[in-house]
């Protein structure tokens, strides 16, 4: 049909076709029909251009994934070269490919000690799902089949697979999907700004430890398989636990005899400063899930890293001739793996360092913007951070849902040519690429601050302030 030929397609018909046929992730179907999509056309460094030619500064690295920025030619080169040479190789039936092998070796060398074994996925959701399957398999393998309960955190996000979405603790992912499952449990988030004892680091850490202990006591230590967390909770609103929190969780899991699954899908690959957030605290989990920054969004890929002791137990327990029945056609895809190797080379050749440098500028702006009348809290680590808006700084009260603060801010920031993530609870998330310059960071905040001022000028918002 002519309407499907690109040369004949107007921008409007593209938006209409999108409304008619494309189901968007985590989007209201009717809302999308009414709103339509902002269709993006190209990117360069920190900048995106849409099909109308509008140029915006991307302060969210796509979806906290394009950590190297757009338009990195060397990645395009390795992907093309790999596609030409060998676009696909299965990992089934004892086949393999050079990029997948080299990337597994690279990840094992970069990851916290003991995480020597890598299973590749297509993204973060199936990385979490794979980890859950391996953990289930592990406890069956070692003769403890009753250890099947999982504990995770409120405000946590662990993807959209049938099992992972139940570890996720965000209402949209449960509503209408019959989740969480009976073996999935949630405890309070280490949310310093909203912790009953205030910003007291020791109290926040102690309360998570106590909550895990209480939940394990309630379920029975012989029934609990694992505790699962993000080092910094991303999609829940960039909730940053105090330093020392992750280490305390590791010690608690060891003491209680449960496995620790750390989900670094967002925090991996320099997002918080070091290569992995676990590195900051010298923590080595039993399972580590990765995606996003692994290929910086240039090709789909995720990974599950498995501790050697888990791997050896599974290997020893299974009859040698029987396969461990978990696999995807595109596990270890050679083009994605080649992209991953090049992306990691870029991190190691300057981007991680630049991210740390710009991270200081980011901290400076987060500190400064706390004085704005709408801002209750700011928090961040490396190039991951957030601003939380409140209607009353004293009581920390939020806004009535009818004010749709997130929707308005998303529109205002777009009009001011900057992309940030506006969460429903009036939190603004930032995750700029590690190539972000100090000037670009200044520009991000100039545009966000202008948006906040415009929001404050809206009569009903001003009236809501306590």
* Minimal distance, residue 280 CB to ligand PLP, in Å: 17
* Minimal distance, residue 40 CB to ligand PLP, in Å: 18
Q: Which is nearer to ligand PLP, 64 or 445 (CB)?
A: 64
Output the CA–CA distances (angstroms, integers) from residue 385 to 97, 174, 363, 445, 456, in the order listed. Answer: 38, 26, 9, 12, 22
* Minimal distance, residue 421 CB to ligand PLP, in Å: 11
d(CA 444, CA 441): 5
* Minimal distance, residue 157 CB to ligand PLP, in Å: 5
Q: Which is nearer to ligand PLP, 122 or 403 (CB)?
A: 122
What phi-psi label fits residue 125: left (phi over 0), alpha (psi between -120 and 50 degrees) or beta? Answer: alpha
Output the CA–CA distances (angstroms, integers) from residue 201 to 36, 72, 227, in the order listed. Answer: 44, 40, 21
Residue 351 in tokens: 């981007």
* Minimal distance, residue 20 CB to ligand PLP, in Å: 25
381: closest CA among 205, 260, 242, 264? 242
Q: Which is nearer to ligand PLP, 265 or 403 (CB)?
A: 265
* Minimal distance, residue 264 CB to ligand PLP, in Å: 7
Residue 376 in tokens: 């209750």
Q: Which is nearer to ligand PLP, 212 or 265 (CB)?
A: 265
d(CA 437, CA 446): 14
Q: Which is nearer to ligand PLP, 189 or 451 (CB)?
A: 189
* Minimal distance, residue 61 CB to ligand PLP, in Å: 12
- Strand 418-419 relative to strand 47-50, pairing: unpaired
Query: Cβ atoms within 10 A of the Cβ of 305, count?
Result: 28
Q: Which is nearer to ligand PLP, 157 or 191 (CB)?
A: 157
* Minimal distance, residue 454 CB to ligand PLP, in Å: 29
Residue 404 in tokens: 């749709």
* Minimal distance, residue 130 CB to ligand PLP, in Å: 11
Q: Which is nearer to ligand PLP, 149 or 235 (CB)?
A: 235
Q: Which is nearer to ligand PLP, 276 or 399 (CB)?
A: 276
d(CA 463, CA 412): 19
* Minimal distance, residue 180 CB to ligand PLP, in Å: 16
Q: Which is nearer to ligand PLP, 399 or 430 (CB)?
A: 430
Residues contributing to the site for ligand PLP (CB under 6 A): 123-125, 128, 157-159, 230, 234-235, 263, 265-266, 291, 302
Q: Which is nearer to ligand PLP, 61 or 266 (CB)?
A: 266
d(CA 159, CA 133): 15
d(CA 423, CA 417): 18
Residue number closest to ligand PLP, CB atom? 124
């Amino acid at each position: 049909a002519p309407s499907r030929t690109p040369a004949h397609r107007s921008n409007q018909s593209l938006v209409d076709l999108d409304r008619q046929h494309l189901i968007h992730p985590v989007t209201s179907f009717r809302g999308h029909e009414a709103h339509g999509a902002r269709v993006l056309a190209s990117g360069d460094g920190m900048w995106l251009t849409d099909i109308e030619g509008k140029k915006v500064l991307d302060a969210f690295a796509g979806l906290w994934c394009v950590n190297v920025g757009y338009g990195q030619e060397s990645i395009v080169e390795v992907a093309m070269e790999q596609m030409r040479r060998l676009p696909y190789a299965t990992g089934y039936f004892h086949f393999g490919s050079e990029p997948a092998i080299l990337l597994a070796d690279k990840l094992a060398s970069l990851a916290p000690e003991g995480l020597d074994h890598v299973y590749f996925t297509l993204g973060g959701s199936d990385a979490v799902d794979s980890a859950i399957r391996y953990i289930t398999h592990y406890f069956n393998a070692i003769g403890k089949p009753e250890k099947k309960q999982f504990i995770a955190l409120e405000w946590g996000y662990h993807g959209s697979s049938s099992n992972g979405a139940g570890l996720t603790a965000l209402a949209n992912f449960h509503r209408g999907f019959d989740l969480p499952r009976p073996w999935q449990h949630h405890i309070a988030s280490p949310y310093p700004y909203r912790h009953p004892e205030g910003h007291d680091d020791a109290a926040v850490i102690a309360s998570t430890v106590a909550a895990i202990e209480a939940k394990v006591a309630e379920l029975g230590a012989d029934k609990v398989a694992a505790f699962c967390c993000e080092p910094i909770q991303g999609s829940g609103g960039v909730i940053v636990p105090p330093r020392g929190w992750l280490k305390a969780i590791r010690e608690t899991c060891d003491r209680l005899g449960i496995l620790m699954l750390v989900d670094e899908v967002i925090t991996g690959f320099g997002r918080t400063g070091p290569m992995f957030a676990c590195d900051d605290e010298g923590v080595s989990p039993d399972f580590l899930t990765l995606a996003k920054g692994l290929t910086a969004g240039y090709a789909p890929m995720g990974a599950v890293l498995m501790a050697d002791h888990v791997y050896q137990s599974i290997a020893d327990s299974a009859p040698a001739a029987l396969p461990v029945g978990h696999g995807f056609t595109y596990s270890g895809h050679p083009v994605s793996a080649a992209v991953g190797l090049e992306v990691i080379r870029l991190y190691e050749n300057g981007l991680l360092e630049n991210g740390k440098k710009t991270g200081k500028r980011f901290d400076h702006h987060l500190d400064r913007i706390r004085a704005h009348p709408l801002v209750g809290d700011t928090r961040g680590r490396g190039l991951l951070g957030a601003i939380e808006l409140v209607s009353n700084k004293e009581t920390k009260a939020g806004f009535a849902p009818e004010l749709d603060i997130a929707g308005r801010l998303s529109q205002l920031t777009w009009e001011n040519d900057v992309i940030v993530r506006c969460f429903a609870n009036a939190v603004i998330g930032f995750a700029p690429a590690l190539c972000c310059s100090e000037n670009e960071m200044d520009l991000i905040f100039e545009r966000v601050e202008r948006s906040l001022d415009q929001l404050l000028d809206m009569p009903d918002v001003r009236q809501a302030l306590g």
